[in-house]
Amino acid sequence: MAEYLRPSSLEEAAGMIAAHGSTLAIVAGGTSAMRFAVPYVAYAMGVRGLGMNEIERSSGGLSLGAGVTMRQIRDSLPIPALQDAARGVGGPALQNMATIGGNIFAHPPNGDVATVLLAMDATVTFFTTNGERTQKLEEFYDSGAQADGLLTRIDCAAPGGELVFLKCGRQRFNSRTVISVAACIGLDNGKVGNACIAVGGAGAHPMRCAAAEQALIGRALDDAAITAAGDEAARASSPGTDAVASEWYRRRMVATYLCRALRQIAAG
Amino acid sequence: MASGIVSIKVNGRAEEVVTGAVTTLQDVLRNNLDYTSVKDGCSQGGCGACSVIVDGELRLSCLTPVQEVDGSEVVTLEGLNLSNSITALQQKFIEKYAAQCGFCTPGMMVAITALLDRNANPSRDEIAEALAGNICRCTGYLPIIEAVESIVAEMAGIAGD
Amino acid sequence: MTKLRGTGFAAVNYPTGMHLGGDPTQSLVHATTSGNFVVTMSSVDLGQGLKTILAQIAAEALGVPYDTVIVDTGDTDTGPHCTGTFASRTTHRAGNAVIMAAEEARKVMLEVAAEKLEVGVEDLETDGLGNIHVKGVEDKAISVAETAGAAHFELGRTISGRGIYLKPPSPMDPETGESDPDSTQAHACTVAEVEVDTETGDVQVLAIKSAYEVGQQVNPELVKGQIVGGAWMGIGHALQETTAPYYPAIDHAPRDFQTYQMPGAVDMPEVECEVLEIASRNGPFGAKGVGEMVTNSPIPAIVNAINNALGVRITQIPVTPEVVLRALDEKAAGGG
Amino acid sequence: MAMKDLKIVGQPVKLRDLDTHVTGETVFYEDVRVPRMLHLKMHRSRYPHARILGIDTSQALSSPGVVTVLTHEDLPGKKLYNALAGAGVGPEDEPVLAFDKVRWKGESVAAVIAETPEQANAAVAKIKVEYEELPAVFDVEEAIKDGAPNLTAHWPNNHYVYPDDHRAAQIRYGDVEKAFAEADHIVEDSYQTQPIEQAPMETNGCIAVPEGDGRITVYSNTQALQFSLDVTAGILDMPTSKLRFVGGTVGGGFGGKVDIQPEPITTLAALRTGRPVKFKYTREEEMQVSSSRSAWRVYVKDGVMNDGRIIARKVTTYQDSGAYLRFSSYACMKHCGHMPGPYTIPNVSVDSIVVFTNRTPSNAMRGFGVMAGSFALEVQMDKIAETIGMDPWELRLINAYREGDMKAHRKEVEDAGMVESILAAAEMAGKQLPENFRNMSSLDRKAG
């Protein structure tokens, strides 16, 4: 059984991560780590005591401590897409525990909140033994989701357009994710000015979908453009098969749900 | 902090647990302290049968390291039984036949208590959503929802008097 | 987004008792000296309310108040044999065993009361409220408690009874299948209304309406509890539940409640039910069994409703969203 | 009609255990407090089909906290069992602990008994089993083909053998082939169900406690106490007088607790260690290892007249038993006897066949043997209605059995209520039926 470590500062936590490497599991809310990581490692490091649960707002943007829970997102954030994503994670007890930081590291197809954060072009900040390091969430995932320290903070600017999150699940609440989509679309004179599209459950981690974004930028948000974006997203997806849904179904739902999200935005 | 002594208050009583290794709150409550209302339905965070209240917040004790609740107040159904506020809810459960095998019931009682603490007048949909983390394999949920609706209506009636 | 609605129904029958019989259950009943009655069994209550209905049956057969009946079950050192709680058998088998034991105990109780009241046994009746009185003469009476005390302390008699119910085994003829497999049959007809999303394949059950014919109900609220709980499980079976999602392959078997799919509280539609009572000739007070068929009737009703909504013929369960979409694809391609 | 003059039967008295359910004071087997309790965890097969070349428990035995490890060599009695052997069902085909082969992924191989569950788990991982993987078969119709991988010599063709060497439980009533030739329509289809988990909220488990006088008390959540006691005594070759089973309050069953899986090995562990031993299935074991509801494949062929009368029904069913028999031969007979459903059909032929595949053995679940039959027949009834262009309600009412009708297994219908149930449901659904249908009853016709 893993030895339980309780760092009292970020420095101490970063030191423990550096010292124990892959033999250490980080326990924030515990909802994933306690089941999938802690039983297989020598050290479990609890970070709840480090706080990191502040929500700060500045000029429309947000700075979220990595320990902010799903419950806090539901209760305190004025961004419906994030609230919707948080609401879909487990039941009330789990939402009181699960953190936004944990969601970024969730095993696919989970990671609904992270999918929205990708569509918000969020950045993540790690506290390492060499100090703070900030990078785009997208880059973090693209570089293999390797953390060299403790994830402390997620920052995002105000959404650059209409932001919608949709989740495909088999139950209305507390459903394992089949796939999820988040789209942030800025319309400029009836044409798509900027598009930020993310898909969850369609690969090893939530991913931005540049091809779908390109299919929209500069075009009117009409049926043809929406269908094209859906098709691109499905093509770019490489989902897995599990007990809940097959690869075939997931790929199809990526297109279906992205189209629904975009139509919702088009309808205003 | 590294001493391995965890101090918690359970149902109003101060307790100390000595452990250096990861130990779940569920294990401590059920097996060290004999609070057997804390059921072990899955130990995976999937069924809600082990639900308890930590510092006023509903939690799954099976996924909570006891070290993470050091200094906290923990309430199990045994603790709720000590207050009068749950009696009316329990009576509604009995009236509505809202339990059959009874294994999920302690977790349900705790989850409903937490719901009513947050929202004294939940709608039917809010009640159903609040039960999303608590699985019942016997009743089909409807009698449970009806029991909660009925206690809500009764509370509203009392408040309106 | 297209959502299509459909209605379907199904009619089912369900046998009571283990197939082909040979599944006995025993019961012992005895009075305490203060007039309570202990029903001793080793039958198992799974939550369906076995202890409750056995107490009701015992109270009815003894003619004593329900609250004075204690059901002591669940210990093989003290309880006589029960084959087990399955096959919709316990109400019927254990219920009949309890009646037999209770009637024997009642006979002694009335004999003792007759001796105390100095009348004939045939002149006595119980009021179900704890008294035994002379028929038509309310005030010529003795309480059950006094009777029980007198039996023990004055007359040296035990107010007790033994009961068993056995449907003799009926082997199946290997060639023709000729046999007497069941004790009685219960019946149900369930109507399901569904809405199907043709883009996602999601099926939402909007309503379940059922008529159940279960013989005499021992406890109508417990019958309803089975019907509602069974409707939920039937919805799960019809749409979601499997341990082999890609059957016959064994891959991707669920390991937890996140991956084993069942409807949630909020996915549950209203369940309307009407219960008919056509007495079983051999059931306890005419009761049949209800615990199992409640899952059986919603399943084909839901599948028929989906087929009705979509104009396809799905013949497998669970009807997952993927099954729906593949059926629609096949239909669009001009297939069956 | 319902009985008159009942005082308490028929009344909605409250459920007896509810008072303690709502306070959490109900005592389930696991809530019994026992001092010095040990914990049992099972090492299980990783393969669906493999020959066992060797089992090495030495590292597990020296693992911290381990008291003992049990393999097939430690069994005092039989190595193979079937729970219904006492009722004459055989041959006994299932290893208590695997020895020559494993036949499904998750099969019990060796039990570790340790001071804590964590120590038992750690030792389970240290058991080394050398396997030679064998080809496996998962489809019922593939399994009974010539040349399919054979699971066991007990079942040379991977199917159960009924008396008189029949491969199926069968019904032969009237002459279906003649009737098919006379029928206006032939309606055929096949129906498939998948394995389903009973998923009681309380997983299977027990605590076996040595009492000092040579007896063992087993606190169990079995659905059948004496049955579990008898089977446990039989497997361990011990007198039944040495065992006491205590239970009766169970956290849900649905058929999932008639299996007698944890009790025998836990009782043996208590005998060997002289200490109380607990064996509780994890949720993952409950999902993967405990018996599921069988998958069924049902072929139905009906001969139907233009007026809606079904004059012949032929059913061929394959029940996917999984790797061992358990209660499948019983369920298949029940399935067979249930056909042709709640309808009076003068010519019926049924073959129901138990097939063995390399999957988790199946067993009882709510509606055992009947659920898949009802599913297949009632979806088939809609196909018949569509084929002949008849209202599906009328089709069922025309064919529903009446009191006194002869069933295919040659027993007269008693206590009939199918017609009344259909009519009541039609009314609830707002279905308008013609008057001659509305006036039907279960007493209105005796089949000639």
Measure in Å the smallest separation between the Cα of C270 and chain A Cα atoms.
Answer: 16
Average pLDDT over residues A201-217: 97
Average pLDDT over residues A95-109: 97
User: pLDDT tens digit string along C180-232?
Assistant: 999 999 999 999 999 999 999 999 999 999 999 999 999 999 999 999 999 99
Residues 38-57 of A with CB under 8 A from C: none
User: pLDDT tens digit string along C86-111?
Assistant: 999 999 999 999 999 999 999 999 99
**Max CA distance (Å), chain B:** 54
**Cβ(C216)–Cβ(D5) below 8 Å:** no
3-state secondary structure chain D: CCCCCCCCCCCCCCCCCHHHHCCCCCCCHHHCCCCCCEEEEEEECCCCCEEEEEEECHHHHCCCCEEEEECHHHCCCCCEECCCHHHCCCCCCEECCCCCEECCCCCEEEEEEECCHHHHHHHHCCCEEEEEECCCCCCHHHHCCCCCCCCCCCCCCCECCEHHHECCEEEEECCHHHHHHHCCEEEEEEEECCCECCCCCCCCEEEEEECCCCCEEEEECCCCHHHHHHHHHHHHCCCHHHEEEECCECCCCCCCCCCCCHHHHHHHHHHHHCCCEEEECCHHHHHHCCCEECEEEEEEEEEECCCCCEEEEEEEEEEEEECCCCCHHHHHHHHHHHCCCCECCCCEEEEEEEEECCCCCEECCCCCCCHHHHHHHHHHHHHHHHHHCCCHHHHHHHHECCCCCECCCCCECCCCCHHHHHHHHHHHCCCCCCHHHHCCCCCCCCCC
B18 touches chain A (CB under 8 A): no
* Among C272, C277, C292, C330, the one annotated catalytic: C292
Chain D residue with the nearest C-alpha to that of C236: D196
A245 touches chain C (CB under 8 A): yes
Instruction: State the best of D11, D15, D18 to mutate against chain B, taking most chain B CBs within 10 Å.
Output: D18
Contacts of C116 (CB under 8 A, 6+ apart): C142, C146, C147, C150
DSSP state for residue B30 in the 8-state scheme: I
Which of D224, D382, D418 is closest, CB to CB, to C84?
Answer: D224
Which of C245, C266, C325 is closest, CB to CB, to A243?
Answer: C245
CATH number, domain B5-79, options 3.10.20.30, 1.10.340.70, 3.90.600.10, 1.10.275.10: 3.10.20.30
Residue pairs between chains B and C whose CB atoms are closer than 8 Å: 70
Cβ <8 Å between C322 and A248: yes
pLDDT at C331: 97
Q: Are residues A96 and A32 in the same domain?
A: no
pLDDT at D448: 42
pLDDT at D2: 46
Q: Are residues A168 and A255 in the same domain?
A: yes
pLDDT at A58: 81
Q: Could you report how far apart the first and last alpha carbons of chain A are, in Å?
A: 53
CATH number, domain of A166, equals 3.30.390.50
pLDDT at B156: 87
Residue C195 annotated to the active site: no
Instruction: State the best of A174, A175, A176 to mutate against chain B, taking most chain B CBs within 10 Å.
Output: A174
pLDDT at A148: 87
Residue range(s) defining the domain that contains residue A171: 162-266
Name the residue ranges covered by the structural domains of chain B.
Answer: 5-79, 81-160
User: pLDDT tens digit string along C12-68?
Assistant: 999 999 999 999 999 999 999 999 999 999 999 999 999 999 999 999 999 999 999
* Rg for chain A, CA atoms, rounded: 18
- The two tokens of residue C174 are 């290997």
Cβ <8 Å between A176 and C259: yes
Cβ <8 Å between A92 and B59: no
Question: Please, which pLDDT band fits residue B85 given cuts at 50, 70 and 90?
Answer: confident
Asked whether the predicted pLDDT for residue A142 surpasses 70, the reply is yes
**The residue to which tokens 């949709």 are assigned:** A166
Residues in A touching B61 (Cβ below 8 Å): none
Is the Cα torsion angle D105, D111, D117, D119 positive or negative in sign? negative
Angle between helices B105-118 and B142-160 (to 10 degrees): 40
Chain B residue with the nearest C-alpha to that of A35: B44
Residues in C touching D357 (Cβ below 8 Å): 248
Task: Report the domain count for chain A.
Answer: 3
Distance of CA D270 to the CA centre of its chain: 28
Neighbours of D430 (CB within 10 A): 9
Cβ <8 Å between C9 and D425: yes
Asked whether the predicted pLDDT for residue B1 surpasses 80, the reply is no
Q: Are residues A184 and A103 in the same domain?
A: no
Residues in B touching D251 (Cβ below 8 Å): 39, 101-103
pLDDT at B161: 52
Asked whether the predicted pLDDT for residue C308 surpasses 80, the reply is yes
CATH number, domain of A35, equals 3.30.43
Q: Are residues A184 and A198 in the same domain?
A: yes
pLDDT at D3: 57
User: pLDDT tens digit string along C97-147?
Assistant: 999 999 999 999 999 999 999 999 999 999 999 999 999 888 999 999 999
Domains and CATH numbers, chain C: 3-16+184-332 (3.30.365.10), 25-165 (3.30.365.10)
Q: Are residues A97 and A136 in the same domain?
A: yes
Cβ <8 Å between A249 and C322: yes
Q: What is the CATH number of domain B81-160?
A: 1.10.150.120
Q: Are residues A129 and A168 in the same domain?
A: no
pLDDT at D446: 53
Instruction: State the best of B1, B7, B22, B148 to mutate against chain A, taking most chain A CBs within 10 Å.
Output: B22
Measure in Å the smallest separation between the Cα of C322 and chain A Cα atoms.
Answer: 6
Cβ <8 Å between C233 and B137: yes
Q: Are residues A83 and A115 in the same domain?
A: yes
**Cβ(C97)–Cβ(C163) below 8 Å:** yes
Whole-number Å distance between alpha carbons of B103 and B115: 20
Q: Which of A127, A156, A185 is the last residue of a domain?
A: A156
User: pLDDT tens digit string along A166-179?
Assistant: 999 999 999 999 99
Residues 160-219 of D with CB under 8 A from C: 162-164, 166, 169-173, 189-197, 199
Residues of chain D with pLDDT below 70 are 1-4, 446-448
Domains and CATH numbers, chain D: 33-133+198-288 (3.90.1170.50), 163-196+291-438 (3.30.365.10)
ipTM: 0.97
Average pLDDT over chain C, rounded to an integer: 97
- The two tokens of residue B50 are 């082990």
User: pLDDT tens digit string along D119-167?
Assistant: 999 999 999 999 999 999 999 999 999 999 999 999 999 999 999 999 9
Neighbors of chain D by Cβ distance (3+ pairs < 8 Å): B, C
Strand partners, A57: A62
Q: Are residues A149 and A167 in the same domain?
A: no
Q: Are residues A42 and A89 in the same domain?
A: no
Q: Which of A156, A176, A208 is the last residue of a domain?
A: A156
Q: Are residues A58 and A45 in the same domain?
A: no
Whole-number Å distance between alpha carbons of A258 and A227: 9
B53 touches chain A (CB under 8 A): no
Measure in Å the smallest separation between the Cα of C223 and chain A Cα atoms.
Answer: 27
